[in-house]
Structure formats: C-alpha cells, structure tokens
Amino acid sequence: MANGACGQTAHSRHGRYHGVNMTGMYKELLPKYNLVHDFVAKYQPWSLVDWGCANGNLLNRVEHDFSSIQELAGYDPGNPDYNVVPAGTYDCLVSCDVIEHFEPDQLDESLKLMQSKFSRAAFLIIACYPAKKQLPDGRNAHLIIENADWWMARTKQQFDQCTVVWSESVSFTAKPKKNRPELRLILEKF
C-alpha cells in the first residue's frame, strides 16, 4: 500500500468533502470512530491527514464533527481519488486498520513516510489478525499478521521522533464470537 506517486493533493474543508449527506455512511466506522473523535477532540488539530482513507468516509465524518479543522487530506493508494501522497505536513495523522496491509518489504519505509506527515500527534489502529479477504495473488489482505508486542516494538523503532503516550492491546469484537486483536496507540512528536 505504500506505492503512491508523490505529488500535491490536499482537500480543504470547503472542497471535496463539503456538503456530504452524513446519514448512514458510517456504520462500519462507528465502533472505532469514537476513538478517532476523542483523539481529534483532545489535540484540536488545524490540519489532519487520514492515512489509508479508503473512500474518505472518516474524513467526511471528521469534517462534519470538527469545523475548526481547516485542512483535511487523505491518502490511499488503492483509491484513484486519493492515490497521491499529500504534500506537506499536517498537525495530526490518523490511520485505522491500514498498516497491516503494507507490503512487508516496504513497512519500514512506509512508517517513516507516515512519521514525516505529521507535526504533533498520530492515532494508529493496527489489526493483529487475518483479514477475511484475499488479494488476487491469493495472499491474505493483511500482509503482516503479528501480535501487538511485535507491532509496538516496530512502531517505536520506525517512529523514532515520537513517544508513545497511550496504547492498548484489545480484542475488538465487531460481531459476536469474532474477537479480533488489535493495537491502538497515540504517538506524539518530541
């Protein structure tokens, strides 16, 4: 997932996301959006980038809930609308259930690139379980399936300009009898 071309795309709050009908768009985000909401409320960023934004639903929801954010951007190499790495640096970065999709040989480079895209804080959720979906080549869509301790060590190593100020390892339950372990953490730049 780290294969985006470099270039400039930043969507202002009055551009791409303005005026979106909020009804019914966020069913899949709801359980984790409360965590993102709390992060954004705490840090009150002027600008924010969603790393692995898919179709931009999280950006739309953040824009709806936080009118103080002046600049929102998204990056997702799997979506042609967001496949260019946003130029510049943002106050905060969020990345939910994305990092485990990175190609293993590009993980360190991708994490370093993410670190370069925020100046204050980042909120990450990293899945530690196999995905339901397979890639066309037969591999599991979660290309890196490791436990929370492994992810914490790797994150600390690659986000070397940051301190982990909060973390939790949980079993996220989206459906009954479907425990899905994940690591959630907040990093702050020194």
Q: Tokens at residue 95, please?
A: 């990345």
pLDDT at 20 > cutoff 60: no
Of residues 151, 147, 188, the one with CA closest to residue 166: 188
Strands, DSSP E only, in the chain? 5-6, 11-12, 47-51, 71-75, 84-85, 90-96, 118-127, 162-173, 179-189
Q: For all residues of the chain together, what is the average pLDDT?
A: 86
Secondary structure E strands in 52-161: 71-75, 84-85, 90-96, 118-127
Give residue 179's pLDDT. 78
pLDDT digits (tens, 9 = 90+) for 44-67: 999 999 999 999 999 999 999 999
Burial label, 189 (beta-carbon count in 10 A; 0-12, 13-18, 19+): middle
Q: With 0-12 CB in 10 A as exposed, 13-18 as middle and 19+ as buried, what is 108?
A: middle
More confident residue, 4 or 111: 111
Mean pLDDT value of segment 112-118: 98
Mean pLDDT, range 139-159, rounded to an integer: 97
Q: For residues 14 and 189, which has the higher predicted lDDT (pLDDT)?
A: 189
pLDDT band, residue 172 (cuts 50/70/90)? confident
The reported pLDDT for the residue numbered 55 is 93
Which residue matches tokens 């989206």? Answer: 174
pLDDT 10s digits, 62-96: 999 999 999 999 999 999 999 999 999 999 999 99
pLDDT at 175: 63
Integer Cα distance of 37 and 66 in angstroms: 9
Stretch among 13-17, 21-25, 109-113, 122-126 having the lowest mean pLDDT: 13-17
pTM listed for this prediction = 0.84
Answer CATH for 5-189 from 3.55.50.30, 3.90.79.10, 3.40.50.1000, 3.40.50.150: 3.40.50.150
The answer to whether residue 162 scores a pLDDT higher than 90 is yes
Sign for the CA dihedral angle at 189, 44, 8, 143 comes to positive
